[in-house]
Structure formats: C-alpha cells, structure tokens
Structure 1
Amino acid sequence: MTRMRPHRLASRFTGAAALVFAATAIANAANCSRQDTLGTSRLLAVDARVYPRVGLNNFPETLPLADHEVVLTFDDGPRPPSTQEVLSALGAECVRATFFLVGRSSAEFPDLVRRIAAEGHTAAHHSWSHPMMSKIPFEQAKDDIDRGIAADELALNGVSSKSLSTPFFRYPYFATTPATLDLLQSRGIVVFGADVWASDWENISPDQELKNVIKQLETARKGIILLHDAQARTAAMMPAFLHYLHENGYRIVHLVSAAPRQQNAETGH
C-alpha cells in the first residue's frame, strides 16, 4: 500500500486543521484525578470530508498523529465478560478508546453499550452480523450496515434509527467493496482501517499478543491500533499493554466526530 508523502500530508493537515481538531492538546482529557496514570492526552475530531478513509494497513493515508501518539480501537463487542474487563483496564488508567460495535451484540447487551458511552468512550459501528461484505451482494451488505447502525443506536439512545451518533465504521475483516465505500463516503461516514494490529484473532496467548503489538509499535512509533474487546486474550493483556505504553512515553489520542449528528444516515441530511 502506498503511503502518503510527508509534504502532501502536511499540506492537507495545515489546510484542514480547523476541521480536524475539536480541541487542542489537553492534559488528561479523561479528567482523571490520579497523576500516575497513562491518561488521555488529547481529543482528535475526525471529519469525513478531510479523512474519509484512514489506516495505512488498508488505505493510502491515516490520521495526523505525532510520534508516540496512538489511538486505541476495539472491534466485535460488546461481549461479556471480556468487554467489562477491557473497560476496567482502560478506566484504571483513565484512557479513552473507540469501540466498533457489532449490532446483534449491541441488541443482546445494550447495558454494556451504554456503559461504553457513559465511561467516555466513542461508540462506532461494525455491521449487524459481521459478514465478509466483499462476498455478498451490495443490497445485502447495505442492509447489514443499516441494521447494525440501528441496533447500536437503539442500545445507546433507546431509539432504533439509521441516524449516527458517531459516523465511524470499520468493515468486518476489512473486506471493502467500491460500492459500499462509495455509499459510506456519500453519507459522511469515516471508514477505519488500522496502522497496527495485535493479531488477537489468532489462537495465541496474551503474552504473545503483547509481543506482537509491541514489535509493530517499535517500528511504526504511532498509529491506530486494532484490538478486539470480544477476545479474552486481549482483556487479559490490556493492563500490561497500557503499562508498556505509559512506561515508553506513548500518548493516547481519543477520537470524536467533527460532524454534527446525522439526521439520516441514508441521505446524509
């Protein structure tokens, strides 16, 4: 995958800074009273008009992160008890993350979705049934996206709607198609890939997962990190991983949407 050249990225960032940032760097954005925690260093508001698709493992560009800045993202939840364990680990370090929710799990565990939001994390979307969208017809893929959004929103807000509280989406298996990418872009929805992943979908131990993600970070030095809160191995690894980030000078960036709440995900109006 071709990476965006530094001068091009700098030019885009300079011209779009007002759209991308909702807040400047702020100490401890998670409002943590404890001084010895990793914390959340700043908020980054992402606008689909500026960064419609991000993550260098999947797309040509990623978010404008500085050296040693990372974004924590979690897929495939909510799923007890591992999601609760992940939330507890994040809370202990005053860290905020983005959770890409599977709609049928949101429908089954709505209280856990509301806990994610109540603890200050960003609730995003990951389809209804986690299909490989490159292997199904467009209309079926579209329906699965819409049904997932509706289930997530019902769990979050008590109303089943195609409107998005946060217009962020990640494809299951990263299985994009041109038609669905165009659909999401037309709706103002940011599509997330990843820059770093822990390969926690493989049958590995928590220690091996930790080694995997550390090895990639030693090379990348920043980026969007893909994890899965539905995986027990990830829940078990999180305290040690957060300790590693803290001890090695990494800073947590929390993502929010730069766009106002969408009234209709189908049309973008």
Structure 2
Amino acid sequence: MTASRVIVLAALLAGMTPAKAADCPRDGTLGTARVLSVDAASTPRVGLKSFPDTLPLEDKEVVLTFDDGPAQTTPQVLAALAHECVQATFFMVGTGVTALPTLVRRVAAAGHSIGTHTWSHKNLKNLPPEQAAEEIDRGITALETVLHGKASTVPTTPFFRFPYFDSTPALLERLQARGIVVFGADFWASDWNRMTPQEQLALITERLEANRKGIILFHDPRAQTAAMLPDFLRYLRENHYRVVHVVAKAPEANVTH
C-alpha cells in the first residue's frame, strides 16, 4: 500500500474525511491543499498545547486559526487569505458578531469555517458552571442569528475554543456530549504581546520550523498580525508548506433498503 493511501485510510478510521480543496483561479498562489472534516465523536478536542491529541496532519501541513474577531482589521486578514487562495478557521466572540454582522457574513461567504469563542471572552474556568454554560450558548446564538437568521444554541459549525485555553473537565464533557469539537492549538504567534510585524514574522516562522506542522493560533483583531500575514503566507508558499482547511463533518444520511 502506498504512503498516500495509508494516510487516507488513517484519516477515515479517525472519523475524518480528507478532500481536495477547490483549485485557485490564479497560478502561483499558496492555495488550500486539502479539506479535513472533523467531528466530536472521533475527535472531541485537538491541540497539543492543551490536549494529548491533535489533527492528523502530515509534515509541513498547517491549519490557520484566528481568535477574538470580528474586528476592524479582519478585512485586511481576509484580503491576505484571498490573495493566496487560503481558507482558515475563525473563532468569533459573540459581542463582536452582534456588532459587526455584515463582516461575519463576509467571512462565511469567503468559505472560511467559523467557530465560537464565547459571548464576551470571559475565563470560563473562573465562572460558576451555569454562567460558563450561558457564555458558551450566547456566543453560539449570536453567530447562528447573524448567519442563519434564527436564534439557536445548536451550532451549524460545531467548533469551539476556550478563551485563554482555560477549560474544566465538566465543560469539556458537556461540549463533547453536544457534538462540539474543542480546538486548542499546537503552537501560536503570541500576538497578544506587542511587537512589530517583522518581529512577529520572525517568531512564528521560527516556531513553525521547530514544529514542522500543526494548528496555528493568530488573532485577527491585532493590527500587527494583519500586517504580517501576507509575508507569512508568502513564507509558507516559498518553503513548500501546505494549508489544510478544517470543516465540520456532515451528518451521515440515513440509508434505507
């Protein structure tokens, strides 16, 4: 059996379905190499900074994720991604979703995955369980209302990331029971720290070379990240990295005989 067939079989056994990404209409771009669908039944939580397991990525494959948006700098991030025909995952805060609904719909229309990041970015670990649950549900409801015109606590894309990566066993179990995948990260840009775009590029490329693959965390509200992103995507292209787009696994259709 060839190596590529082994990879495909492993992904299927893990409950994840790889697929070829749509071709970019422009030559010479980074592009999205493939699509990986994920569900909570087989992969309830991913990201080695927080959990024992992560996504089954090959060497030099990365997943791009952005937290805390939407924000005024999000269009700049979207432009950089579009220029290179790259898809990413945005974990949005409910207050921002409600404030900037048109921008949220723009992110979705561009084909990016959108998960939730609570209603107001509170540290859920420090809240009573019922308040933590409300923070999660209000964030989901805000996104569903903006994207689908219907208030619901059932997320269309069941991806969630804890603010500050601070979770509790009870919340993790509750999210898994609801079919929601919890994303951590394998490494991050540390863009919550003030630095120049050039300094941030040097930091994230150094971490990329050390890790070789993984889920990367950025923050689209950070101006330094938005300014740095075109150069980072160019670095990926020139150094033969491949971007994987993560999507929610579609429910299996009932088969009748």
CA spacing shift, 1:15–1:83, aligned 2, 3 Å: closer
Query: 1:22, CA displacement in angstroms?
Result: 4.9
Match of 1:218 in 2: 209
SS state at 1:77 partner: coil
**Are 1:46 and 2:42 counterparts?**
no
Match of 1:71 in 2: 63
Structure 2: distance between partners of 1:39 and 1:180:
36
1:194 paired residue among 180, 185, 189: 185
**Are 1:137 and 2:128 counterparts?**
yes
Query: 1:15, CA displacement in angstroms?
Result: 7.8
Let me know the Cα RMSD of the aligned residues.
1.7
Give the letter aligned to residue 21 of structure 1: T
The answer to whether the 8 Å contact 2:14/2:43 transfers is no
- For residues 221-243 of structure 1, the C-alpha deviation after alignment (integer angstroms, 9 at most, x for no partner) is 00000000011110000000000
Match of 2:105 in 1: 114
SS state at 1:66 partner: coil
**Are 1:35 and 2:31 counterparts?**
no
Structure 2: distance between partners of 1:90 and 1:231:
15
Give the letter aligned to residue 35 of structure 2: L
CA spacing shift, 1:157–1:31, aligned 2, 3 Å: farther
Structure 2: distance between partners of 1:191 and 1:259:
17
The answer to whether the 8 Å contact 1:41/1:251 transfers is yes
Structure 2: distance between partners of 1:248 and 1:208:
19
Q: TM-score scaled by structure 2?
A: 0.92
The answer to whether the 8 Å contact 1:83/1:235 transfers is yes
Match of 1:17 in 2: 13
Structure 1: distance between partners of 2:23 and 2:59:
23
The answer to whether the 8 Å contact 1:30/1:96 transfers is no
Query: 1:92, CA displacement in angstroms?
Result: 0.5
Query: 1:30, CA displacement in angstroms?
Result: 4.2
Match of 2:240 in 1: 249
In the alignment of these two chains, the number of paired residues is 246
Q: TM-score scaled by structure 1?
A: 0.88
Give the letter aligned to residue 248 of structure 2: S
Structure 1: distance between partners of 2:230 and 2:70:
19
The answer to whether the 8 Å contact 2:77/2:229 transfers is yes
The answer to whether the 8 Å contact 2:61/2:244 transfers is yes
Residue pairs, 1:72-87, within 5 angstroms:
72-80=64-72, 82-87=73-78
* 5+ long unaligned stretches in structure 2: 1-5, 253-257
Residue pairs, 1:96-111, within 5 angstroms:
96-111=87-102
Superposition misfits of 4+ residues, deviation over 6 angstroms: none
The answer to whether the 8 Å contact 2:191/2:219 transfers is yes
- For residues 62-95 of structure 1, the C-alpha deviation after alignment (integer angstroms, 9 at most, x for no partner) is 0000000000000000001x10000000000000
Query: 1:152, CA displacement in angstroms?
Result: 0.8
* 5+ long unaligned stretches in structure 1: 1-9, 262-269
Structure 2: distance between partners of 1:59 and 1:45:
19
Residue pairs, 1:139-178, within 5 angstroms:
139-178=130-169
Identity %: 56
Query: 1:31, CA displacement in angstroms?
Result: 3.4
Residue pairs, 1:226-237, within 5 angstroms:
226-237=217-228
1:208 paired residue among 199, 215, 221: 199
Structure 2: distance between partners of 1:139 and 1:128:
14
SS state at 2:32 partner: coil
Give the letter aligned to residue 154 of structure 1: T
